[in-house]
Structure 1
């Protein structure tokens, strides 16, 4: 009874905070409280009210846009922060990255990406899930679902390896990243980003300032690594 009461109180707290922060905020906090009760550890704070609004605005803009492109860069903040149109000159590119997006968030908005009718999607998502404490097997299953839905729509889908965090953050996240990437590696269009962005199983310290997000030089290295896979330059 005591455990049930604790769970109930945690859920109620999450819902109340969600009403205060706005739509979507309560779900993330409720998840964090549930994880704490079962012993899971989250290393990523949920987005605050402003970040939640920015995320909603970004999705609304995506859905209102009439744009078409050969390539879509899809995922979380790693994709969002990339200046892809400048890096891939001669190729039309849409940025469909949203900070804090989990694999489920990407799956929920996938219809908009399919509507753009790109030739190729470069997918990178999963680190948010792992840093919230989710199991690599569950994350891999959702990523496979995303790739399958895109391919069913006739879109070539490059599943990129999930990037670890820098060693200085002292998180156990990187072991989970390794496990997730091993599950994704059999994908026929798996793209390993680790040779250019990772050192010793952790994010290259010279390519990040906060241990998670990438520097401009990291995006140059990333873009050069995948440039041969652009639809205009590959079979």
Structure 2
């Protein structure tokens, strides 16, 4: 075993990390193995809450000028592998296994002293499993967004869509309806809605089999896909490409970049084309800053393939 596989094992590893001044997201996967490898039992909800508050306090003292992103949610967030978290910033994991939107709303105090750049919320699936009404999920997310904006006014709050499952009792038709409510709340409250659901869903409208271990929780491949999504979103926010910018770009027939004026022209995607390749042809660069403009203009999701379609690509305007 090279990393914790149970809640008590992860809990003990994180406690040991704090004893030497390191938060969980900065630990190698097998850290303090001798302490947790044979551990049995289960920490209480209060144990986890106290641990998260301790980690947040430790990170607050050592944040310095580093950008901080926070994962806020349940076990899906809690088990996000630290080594997969996008680089270029500090990460604080505030997930607790089994938690629902009501519990999350009540424990926002645990990281109230931090100075986050971005807070990513992913919650709601446990509410559904526990038989709570759909409306309560939307209400709790609404109040969570409002509270976070009061506590952390400079932070960007990202509401991630509830992921699909492979369980017949939790159909994606129901989840998508709730996600529509979350999108509306995000728009009305100035938060950012991030659609993960579409990229994780197969043709049968279920969570893709390779992305899950049990129909709900994510596999390594699932976390790698989420990492890709987070990297895209965090990079966009670093470039100030928020909802308003994205809407402007999608409406605008022209834009200026690096002192050059570009217009959008139709292009039939060819076999083997990729966004970086098209960006290289258009801008002379294939880095995210450039190819993401094409993705935004065409409203391409983080997992969407170009396929056989016509898209808009930039072309310089001759003076």
1:165 aligned residue: 165
SS of match in other structure, 2:112: helix
SS of match in other structure, 1:115: coil
Q: 1:64 & 1:114 partners in 2: Cα distance?
A: 12
What is the alpha-carbon root mean square deviation over aligned residues?
A: 2.0
Question: Contact (CA 8 Å) 2:84, 2:224: kept in 1 or not?
Answer: no
For the pair 1:233 / 2:238, whether they are aligned, the reply is yes
Query: Where does structure 1 lack aligned partners over 5 or more consecutive residues?
Result: 1-49
Query: Where does structure 2 lack aligned partners over 5 or more consecutive residues?
Result: 1-40, 241-319
Question: Contact (CA 8 Å) 2:101, 2:124: kept in 1 or not?
Answer: yes
How far off is 1:173 after superposition?
Answer: 4.6
Question: Contact (CA 8 Å) 2:85, 2:91: kept in 1 or not?
Answer: no
1:219 aligned residue: 223
Question: Contact (CA 8 Å) 1:122, 1:160: kept in 2 or not?
Answer: yes
How far off is 1:110 after superposition?
Answer: 0.4
How far off is 1:185 after superposition?
Answer: 1.4
For the pair 1:64 / 2:54, whether they are aligned, the reply is yes
Question: Contact (CA 8 Å) 2:161, 2:182: kept in 1 or not?
Answer: yes
Q: 1:145 & 1:73 partners in 2: Cα distance?
A: 17
Question: Contact (CA 8 Å) 1:165, 1:174: kept in 2 or not?
Answer: yes
2:99 aligned residue: 101
Q: 1:87–1:178: structure 2 CA closer, same or farther, 3 Å change rule?
A: same
Q: 2:125 & 2:89 partners in 1: Cα distance?
A: 28
Question: Contact (CA 8 Å) 1:205, 1:211: kept in 2 or not?
Answer: yes
What TM-score do the two structures reach when normalised by structure 2? 0.54
Q: 1:172–1:230: structure 2 CA closer, same or farther, 3 Å change rule?
A: closer
**More displaced stretch, 102-111 vs 66-75:** 66-75
How far off is 1:163 after superposition?
Answer: 1.0
Pick the structure with greater CA Rg: 2
For the pair 1:81 / 2:85, whether they are aligned, the reply is no
Q: 1:54 & 1:88 partners in 2: Cα distance?
A: 30
Q: 1:234 & 1:146 partners in 2: Cα distance?
A: 26
For the pair 1:151 / 2:141, whether they are aligned, the reply is no
1:127 aligned residue: 125
Question: Contact (CA 8 Å) 2:101, 2:140: kept in 1 or not?
Answer: yes
Question: Contact (CA 8 Å) 1:165, 1:203: kept in 2 or not?
Answer: yes
Q: 1:158 & 1:172 partners in 2: Cα distance?
A: 24
Question: Contact (CA 8 Å) 1:85, 1:93: kept in 2 or not?
Answer: no
For the pair 1:201 / 2:205, whether they are aligned, the reply is yes
Question: Contact (CA 8 Å) 1:163, 1:193: kept in 2 or not?
Answer: yes
Question: Contact (CA 8 Å) 2:148, 2:157: kept in 1 or not?
Answer: yes
Q: 1:85–1:122: structure 2 CA closer, same or farther, 3 Å change rule?
A: farther
How far off is 1:54 after superposition?
Answer: 4.3
Question: Contact (CA 8 Å) 1:88, 1:227: kept in 2 or not?
Answer: yes
What TM-score do the two structures reach when normalised by structure 1? 0.72
